[in-house]
Amino acid sequence: MMAFFMVFTQNILGMASVLVGGIATGMRVFDALTDPIVGFLIDKTDGKFGKYRPYMVIGSVIMNVSMIAIFFCPSTLPSVAKLIYIIGFYALYVIGYTCQTCVTKGGQTAITNDPEQRPVFTISDSIASSLVNAGLSFFLTTMLAPKYEGGLLNPVVWQKIVFIAVGIQIFFTVLAILGIWEKDRTEYFGFGQKNDAKFSFKEFGRILVGNKGLRYLMISANTEKIGWMIYNSTVVYFYANILVNSSLQGTLATAAIIPTILASTVGPIIARKKGMKKIYVISNVCSLICIGGILLLRPDANYGMPLLIMIMLERAAATVSVYLSNPMIADCADYELYRTGRYIPGMVGSLFSFADKFVSSLSTFILGVALAIAGYGDKVITPNVPAEGTLRTTLLICMFVIPAVCHVVSLISMKFYPLDGKTMMKVQIENAQKRHQAKN
């Protein structure tokens, strides 16, 4: 839902693109700063309700209340009041979001440490996310918006879709809580003992220096995330102003579910035998090749089926690598346990998230600045009107060229990532031996 933040605030609330980009960037930086705090608290928590479940519940409540408030922001508010309102509720949303994302990264270490099981997380994660994102996008652009005068420029459209998004979020939070319930206990944390070790925020520096796997995964995955987010921020404009068919976004996203599910299933299955690093690299290369094909086809209003197929394949490949980074973070946490004997998945995961959010905070700001340079910083970009000249070039650069550059940087970083399949098998065997010794 928050991928539509820039479209909503610029076209409904009348806020300038550079201002909106600045807000989004500032909030992502704030989001990054909250990660180490929440990760630290998670590692200190081990009560009757477990280590992870309390943060899942708290995060869900905060996220949903603030998201409803954002998309119900009165457009009649004075400019300063509107700015304060949006910043305040966005900051609140960030706190809830951080609580849940830190659990996503840290909780996997409790669910399983089997190198053959862990990639399976990517299958359910990417398929569920693709189904929800495609379904929400299809419903918004193809079914809901056409029913109202002005379509996506009508505030009522956004007020209706946000409640659907909230319902979906609550549903999946309940499933997540049920899924981790059995393993959210001390015996599944690290070596199966209470974590009585004294540690402070200084540990973040020691982790970053000593954990080579986490260091290079941060560079690779977070660079790729920039391209992913800029793509998602630009995609509405691409369909509405490059292909000049805004309803096609939802339709194509729905059609892309099939190749995405296939890629998201086959990739992790191979990763179970060959290691997650190999599939992560392959998916990056495939996405990069597809981007080259898209640009060669010169997308415009006279698009054909080859272009649409190439777009679907690119999203399928990119989805695999983006979601595969989550279980790879769990590998880094287990590597930290192997390396130092400390079970601190919250701190390992939040350190990754800190860099992720700090770096990817640039994405919306980059798009905002790019639109301002193109002369559309404070203008409404009307849907289904062809983008020409500088605006067209700007949208294509943000949609495809920047993600392509990010893929290249990501692949270079993976050359130095040490946690391949063989290394992780060695790590898990030694951790299992130490766990057995501690139990006896």
What is the chain's mean pLDDT, rounded? 87
Determine contact, residues 119/276, Cβ cutoff 8 Å. yes
Helix (H, G, I), strand (E, B) or coil at 50: strand
pLDDT at 377 over 80: no
Query: Residue 50 forms beta bridges with which residues?
Result: 47
Cβ 284 vs Cβ 225: under 8 Å: no
The amino acid at 23: I
Q: Which residues pair with 389 in a beta bridge?
A: none
Position 67 scores a pLDDT of 94
Q: What is the pLDDT of residue 141?
A: 81
pLDDT of the residue at 14: 85
- Overall average pLDDT of the 388-411 stretch: 92
Tens digit of pLDDT for each residue in 27-44?
Answer: 878 888 898 899 989 988
Beta bridge pairs of residue 47: 50
Longest alpha-carbon distance in the chain: 71
230 near 403, Cβ under 8 Å?
A: yes
pLDDT score, position 197: 59
Q: How far apart are CA 207 and CA 372, in angstroms?
A: 40
What is the length of the chain?
440
Per-residue model confidence (pLDDT) at position 26: 84
Task: List pLDDT tens digits, range 255-266.
Answer: 888 887 888 788
CB atoms within 10 A of CB 327: 24
Angstrom distance (rounded) from CA 36 to CA 414:
24
> How confident is residue 229, by pLDDT bands cut at 50, 70 and 90?
confident
The per-residue pLDDT for 198 is 64
Query: Do residues 104 and 256 touch, judged by C-beta distance below 8 A?
Result: no
Ramachandran angles phi, psi of 47, nearest 5° = -115, -160
pLDDT of residue 296: 95
Q: What mean pLDDT is predicted for residues 137-146? A: 84
Q: Residue 231: which of 406, 410, 52 has the closest Cα?
A: 406
pLDDT recorded at residue 195: 66
Q: Where are the alpha helices (DSSP H) in 256-304?
A: 257-274, 276-296
Q: How far apart are the first and last CA of the chain?
A: 49
Q: Dihedrals φ, ψ of 94, to 5°?
A: -60, -40
pLDDT value of position 196? 63
Which helix (H) or strand (E) segment holds residue 32: the answer is helix 17-44
Q: Average pLDDT for residues 223-252, to the nearest whole number?
A: 86
Least Cα distance to 243 among 315, 292, 290, 302 occurs for 302
Model confidence at 211, in pLDDT bands (50, 70, 90)?
Answer: very high
Measure the CA–CA gap between 418 and 387, rounded to whole angstroms.
Answer: 45
The reported pLDDT for the residue numbered 27 is: 85
Q: What interhelical angle do 257-274 and 120-138 show, nearest 10? A: 170
* Per-residue pLDDT at 186: 87
- Average pLDDT of the residues in 415-436: 89
Mean pLDDT check: name the lowest of 69-73, 119-123, 233-237, 295-299: 119-123
Q: pLDDT-derived band of residue 247, with 50, 70 and 90 as boundaries?
A: confident
Read off the pLDDT of each residue in 361-383 and give the average, rounded to a whole number. Answer: 77
| Sequence-separated (6 or more) residues with CB below 8 Å from residue 131 | 257
Pairwise CA distance, residues 182 & 416, whole Å: 36
Whether 109 has a pLDDT exceeding 80, the answer reads yes
* Per-residue model confidence as pLDDT tens digits over 148-185: 888 888 888 899 999 999 999 999 999 999 999 999 98
Q: What pLDDT is stored for residue 383 in this prediction?
A: 79
pLDDT over threshold 90, residue 416: yes
What is the C-alpha separation between 98 and 93, in angstroms, rounded?
Answer: 9
Burial status of residue 215 (CB atoms within 10 A of its CB: 0-12, 13-18, 19 or more): buried
Lowest mean pLDDT segment, chosen from 107-116, 284-293, 300-309: 107-116
Does pLDDT of 347 surpass 80?
Answer: yes
Cβ proximity of 323 and 264 under 8 Å = yes
Cα gap 354→333, rounded to integer Å: 15
pLDDT surpassing 70 at residue 86: yes
pLDDT band, residue 140 (cuts 50/70/90): confident
Distance CA 17, CA 198 (A): 46
pLDDT at residue 162 in the model: 93
High-pLDDT (> 90) share of the chain, %: 37
- Evaluated on CA atoms 34, 40, 46, 50, the torsion sign reads positive
The arithmetic mean of pLDDT across residues 204-218, rounded, is: 91
| CA nearest neighbour of 378 among 14, 87, 74 | 14
pLDDT, greater one: 47 or 21: 47
Q: How far apart are CA 202 and CA 12, in angstroms?
A: 44
Dist. CA 81–CA 333, nearest whole Å: 43
pLDDT of residue 54: 95
- Smallest CA-to-CA distance from 334 within 424, 416, 420 is with 424
Cβ–Cβ contacts within 10 Å for residue 71, how many? 24
Tell whether the model's pLDDT for residue 5 goes beyond 70. yes
Query: Residue 56 CA to chain centroid, in angstroms?
Result: 17
